[in-house]
Amino acid sequence: MGFILDGLDAEDYDRHYNDLDLLRRILGYFRPKLPAMAVVAVMIVATSLLQAVLPVVISWGLDRLVADDSNQFLALLVTLILLSGVLAWVTNFVRQSLSARVVGDVVLRLREDAFAAVLRRDMSFYDENPSGKIVSRVTSDTDDFANVVTLTMNLLSQVLLVGFITALLFQRDVGLALMTLAITPVVVGLALGFRRVARETTRRAQRSLARVNSNVQETMGGIAVAKNFRQEQTVYDEFRPINEQNYQVTLRQGMVFSGIFPVLFLVAGLGTVLLVYAGGRRVLDGSVSPGDWYLFLQAVGLFWMPLTSIASFWSQFQQGLSAAERVFALIDATPRVVQTDERPVGRLAGRIEFKDVTFGYVPTQPVLKNFDLTIEAGEMVALVGHTGAGKSTLGKLITRFYEFQGGRIEIDGRDIRTFDLREYRRQLGVVPQVPFLFSGTVADNIRYPRPEATDEEVRRAAEHIGNGDWLDALPEGLDTKVGEHGRALSMGQRQLVALARLLIQDPAIVILDEATASVDPLTEAQIQEGLDVVLHGRTSIVIAHRLSTIQHADRIIVLREGRIVEEGDHATLMRLGGQYCEVYNTYFRHQSPNYKPGTGFVPVLG
């Protein structure tokens, strides 16, 4: 049991809704479709009436055939049966086609809302939740929601059919009708008993599928690493228990859903046997005609099927409600980054101030504590330090990817929590350590921050980076396809595209996490020239990994455990012989042009 449930806990942002709240929310999506739903309702009524009329026509015909066995009456009877069947097919076809359109439109809107919610989430949300599980909610769970909508429409049809047939049964024989209805509470009670089990089983199955999706997505993202280290078997061995768990959970779900129908049909079958016996005795004593008895048996058959469908509906309905619950939990997830106002930003000069800032990815474990720092407009600051010192954290806080727990961060003397976030981020140019490119051409990726940019503007931006020489190495220049994640380009070419993209954005503040991957000397020179162009005249915060960058920085800030331990320019800090020299010996010494293994160490005075 532990294996089957392992890893299927709820996500932190999951929440539970009662059925009534979920139904209200779902109905809100159907409100714009009321005209189409009205037509569907009319078609459902018509279809149910025609299905109920068919046994009445046959019963009437059987009784009339005893007195009139002419070919004309037989032809009339056959015509009436065919006509009722054709009309039932037509009304059902209209109902199904309109229902499919309505359901498709509703699911389309729900999926768009879910995707929009994904885009609104903070970066911490993606750090804490595997992307595969998020994708599963946007895709698989919205499909399950579509199933429950279809079930609901079928339910209305079944309810009407049961209503019509109940009226018919009472019209023909009150005693037999009451005997039929006496079994109804047993059928409904059994079905409702499955409801809670079905909801929990379905929830686990959806979480299990999300876990499979997450594992597959992670594997595809790291397939090159797996193949490089010949770890395909290890990856497969990790996938097998996750897939086996999904199999076991799905099997349990199937057993729950399939188990209810045999029980319901057994009860209905026993009820039918009782009615056949009682009705047969009434025919033998002459109180009921053969035609009426046939009509009653046919009507009972039509009564049991929709009744069991209605009863089992609640168990199946839980699959859709559970899916809706997971999608709505994603949509309703509480944001952690909250703006106190949405004031216009205007063009920023770029002066940045951290005032007594406290922040931790886990609030009880602060990365920064009472942190103070001022960066002047147009200043280029290089952040250096060992892993975990807090370099990347500063950039994430400036971009408002995370919410700080204490203090203030001001840009040009204004609290960043009061900015219109969309307008503010347009003036922030962020280049991650591994530049991400979207599928498309090089030109498409350069144009990404300004979709309205002309081809000439794109070309001009590209040529400003490394004098445009790097474009000659691309098979089709700016029209070269970059492939998924930019894999058709080298790491150096991706960095050059990212710099050109930054240039066309024209941000006021640049946050650059330099790539650690080695590139050839020519590309290195092109990247450095590109950096000079991009960073000129802008406030720049560079998480430095290149010696050339820190040498050109206006100020170097040495971080250690979330504190500033040294600051100054390269030459000054080298003379001090402090912690910067320790960092230099570890990360930058080997980049010196005169470097020889085992040499180039600078003294650390302590």
DSSP 27-78: HHHHGGGHHHHHHHHHHHHHHHHHHHHHHHHHHHHHHHHHH---HHHHHHHH
pLDDT, residue 301, reads: 66
Token duo for residue 114: 């879910």
Model pLDDT, residue 122: 83
Neighbours of 75 (CB within 10 A): 10
pLDDT for 265: 72
Residue 384: beta bridge partners? Answer: 558
Q: Count CA atoms closer than 13 A to 421's CA, side-chain side.
A: 16
pLDDT digits (tens, 9 = 90+) for 74-87: 788 788 888 888 88
Q: What is the percent of the chain with per-residue pLDDT over 70, rounded to a whole number?
A: 83
Lateral strand order in the sheet of 368-375: 368-375, 352-359, 406-411, 414-415
The mean of the pLDDT values for the chain is: 81
Average pLDDT over residues 350-355: 95
133, 214 Cβ separation under 8 angstroms: yes
37 class by beta-carbon count within 10 Å (0-12 exposed, 13-18 middle, 19+ buried): middle
Tell me where in the chain the CATH 1.20.1560.10 domain(s) lie: 16-332
Please give the Cα distance from 347 to 191 (Å, whole number): 64
Any idea which of 112-126, 403-417, 444-458 has the lowest mean pLDDT? 112-126
Give me the pLDDT at residue 273, please. 78
Q: Which residues pair with 371 in a beta bridge?
A: 357
pLDDT one-digit tens code per residue, 534-587: 888 899 999 887 777 888 889 999 999 999 999 999 889 988 888 888 888 888
3-state secondary structure of 601: coil
Location of each CATH 3.40.50.300 domain in the chain: 352-427+507-591
Residue 100 predicted with pLDDT over 80: yes
Looking at residue 5, its pLDDT comes to 45
Q: Is 573 exposed, middle or buried (0-12, 13-18, 19+ CB in 10 A)?
A: buried
Answer CATH for 352-427+507-591 from 3.40.50.300, 3.30.70.20, 1.10.540.10, 3.20.20.70? 3.40.50.300
Mean pLDDT of 31-59: 79
Query: Residue 3: its pLDDT value, please?
Result: 42
CATH superfamily assigned to domain 16-332: ABC transporter type 1, transmembrane domain (1.20.1560.10)
Mean pLDDT over 23-41 rounds to: 83
The model carries a pTM of 0.69
